[in-house]
Structure formats: structure tokens, C-alpha cells
Amino acid sequence: MNKERTVRLFGWLLFVLAICLFLLQMGYFILQSQIQVEYIDNRLFYIINIAFSVFLLSALTILIPFSKAGQVIATGIIIIFIAANSYLLGSSNYKVKNISSISPDWKHVLSIKENQGRAVYNRTYYGIFSRPKDAFPNAITGDLKIKWLTNDASAVTYKGTDNKIHQFIATYGDRGNGGYYHVGAEIHGSWQGENVQVISNTEGISVTENGITDQFEWGNIVQFGTLAVVLTKDDQAVWTIALAENFKRNSNASLPVEGDIVLYKAEMAENQPITLKIEK
């Protein structure tokens, strides 16, 4: 008797899960039509459909005493539904390529959707939902290289159709009490790392690597959010500078800077960010 109750309870649990997934999909349709909400990965739509059908069939099999013919019909319908969604799951990424990456602390998800070389960065909301936020300024060719510089700043490096290297930085926070500020001004001073030095002053930002210095005027420095800037030359990304998580922004410019910065070279080859400390 207890075993039968447990099985039926499990059946009702599966049925409730199926209903929840159905309501999730219906809510998605409404949000998509009204405020352009999307799943962080378009393939989630078909995965949820498959999970819904599996839960529903399992629940009905447990809760309703189908005849053998009824079981065959119900199973056949679900198999066709699963097969159709599996095919769409596999083919959907050919039309719109979904690129997702989770931050090292698992608190943020980078979501990019690429369609025929046009890439759009989607800002995530409530875990699995997102909305289009920024289109990449350059059409892309080939693969994207993603590197999390901090837990809340991710560098996306790619080659454009102009055959130049570009970078897009996705940011998810700030280093102050809110509000907008200029990263270049916040890192005013001289910073030192292994075989590299960064100097930010009124003329711009210079980067010295292995004794070779590149100077970037302020007109060639592009800011992303309030956490990072990309240093460019001849319309090509060269370096990214991000504020490390221990960086503390002081509203009083006379106070010394606290924390580190992160320097990252813009190249398609695999490379690692470099941490720099202020020279006092």
C-alpha cells in the first residue's frame, strides 16, 4: 500500500513539473511578444519541450490506467514530438549560433547570438532569460574567443570582416556606489606588472611591454560599462584594461588608488590576463 502511494505521489510530482514547464513556455511566448525577452540560449526552448513531454508521459502512465492500445498511441505521439524537437534543437544553432559562458563565480552568464556574422550581446535576467542589449559594431568572421578577466567582466575577442582584431567587453557591475565614471581617469598613475607597465595621464594611456611602448590617445580608448576600456590603434583592438575586483574607486581624487588593474592583449591566440599594481 505504501509503495503504491509513493508511486502515485511520484506521478503527481511529474505532472506538476510538466505543468510548470508548460506555464514557463507560455510565459515565454507572452514576454517575447511584449518586451523582446529571449532565452539565453535558443536551444533551451526545445530542451524544455522535450522535458515537458517526458514528464507528462511518465505522469500519465503512472496516474491513468491506459489500455495497451492507448499506451502505444500516447507513446507514439510523445516520441514524434520528442523527435521533432530534437531535430529542431540540432538545426536551430545553424541559423542563429548561440554562444554562452558562465562567470568563474557562477553569478553571471555571457550570452551572445550570432546570425550571419552579426553578433548581439544579450543581457541576462532571472537566470535563463535575456534581452538584446548591444550589437557588435563589426561583423565577425570565424570563432569568438571568450576570457573572463574578473568575475564580472568578460572579454570577447574576434576577427572582423575587415581582417582586424576587435574586442567587446561584457560587464556586470561597478567599483563604486553606482553612477557612471571614466575608467581611464580612475586609473590615473603608473601601474607595474611582470614585464609590462601601464601609465594613465592627461595625454592618454601608454602600455610598455618588454621595453616597447605604445601610446593611446583618449580618442582611441573605448569604454565598456564602468569596468573596462579597450585601447585601439588603426581601428583595431590592441589591449583591454579592466578594474580588478579589489579595485576601490575613491570619489575624492586626492586619495590614493586602492586595488589592482587587469591588462589583457587583444589577440586570437590563447593568452592570460596580467595583474598590475599601482607604483607608489
- Would the pTM of this model clear 0.75, i.e. be above it? yes
Q: What is the pLDDT of residue 193?
A: 87
Q: Can you read off the three cell numbers belonging to residue 184?
A: 581611464
Report pLDDT for 275: 94
Counted residue by residue, the chain has a size of 280
CA–CA distance, 141 with 151 (Å, rounded to integer): 27
**pLDDT attached to residue 255:** 67
- Quote the pLDDT of residue 138: 83
| Cβ atoms of 238 and 221 closer than 8 Å | no
Low-confidence residues of the chain, pLDDT below 70? 1, 93, 178, 251-255
For cell 507560455, what's the residue?
A: 26
Grid cell listed for 225: 560599462
